[in-house]
Structure formats: C-alpha cells, structure tokens
Amino acid sequence: MKTTQFLKAAGGIACVVFALNAGAQTNSTSSSSGSEPSVGQKMDQVGKKVDDGAVTTKVKAELLSAKNVKSTHIHVKTRGGVVSLTGTVPSAEDKTNAEQVVKEVSGVASVKNHLKIAAD
C-alpha cells in the first residue's frame, strides 16, 4: 500500500518537473520571437496551454501527496488558471480538503469544485 502511494507521488513529482521544464522552454522561445505578431500570438497560446498543463500536473501531485485527502478518484482540468475538480470522494471533509489543497497551488486562479460524495 505504501509502495503504491510512493510510486504515485514519485510519478506526480516527475510530471511536475517535466511540465515546469517544458514551460520554461516555451516561455524563453516566446520572448525571443517578437518580429511577427501572429507568430507571437500563437506562441502565447501555446504558453498558456503549457501553463495550464503545468498547473494541472502540480495540482495532481499535491492531491496525491496530501494526507488529508483521498484523491484516487479526483479528475483535474485547468483552463486559464481555473481548476475544475470532478469525480468522487468518500466524505464532505475530503471534498473541502481537496479544494483547500488546490487553492494553495501556485498558478491556480480559482477552483470549481464539482466533486461528488460517494454513497457508502
């Protein structure tokens, strides 16, 4: 059981590192190409998608490592910094704790908590 949690956390951390590196590469590329506005605008759109992906990855990693949230059935999507949580949790406390954990992640503008409480 602990091995599975450790592997999930390690995988989440690896994803965060990858996403942050991809974000850094995209940001440096977009700042160097300013001669054509249409290309720059396209690069900004790519940067936003990478940023949302990085936020999603960070949120998933935080939820996996949070001891006060049972997060195996939580799905995360991010758009424009707004994180949407869907899926099921075992209790109202888990729902509240999940939202609180997500709000503290860097890059999260707001949280839409659509989590359902699973019936026993």
- The tens digit of pLDDT for each residue in 32-72 reads 444 555 555 555 555 565 699 999 999 999 999 999 998 77
At 22, the pLDDT band (50, 70, 90 cuts) reads: low
Q: Decide if 76 contacts 60 (C-beta within 8 A).
A: yes
Q: What's the pLDDT at 10?
A: 61
CATH number at residue 8: 3.30.1340.30
Total domains in the chain come to 1
The secondary structure element, H or E, covering residue 89 is strand 82-89
Which domain range does residue 41 map to?
Answer: 2-117
Q: What's the pLDDT at 70?
A: 85
At 90, the pLDDT band (50, 70, 90 cuts) reads: very high
Q: What's the pLDDT at 119?
A: 76
Q: What's the pLDDT at 97?
A: 95
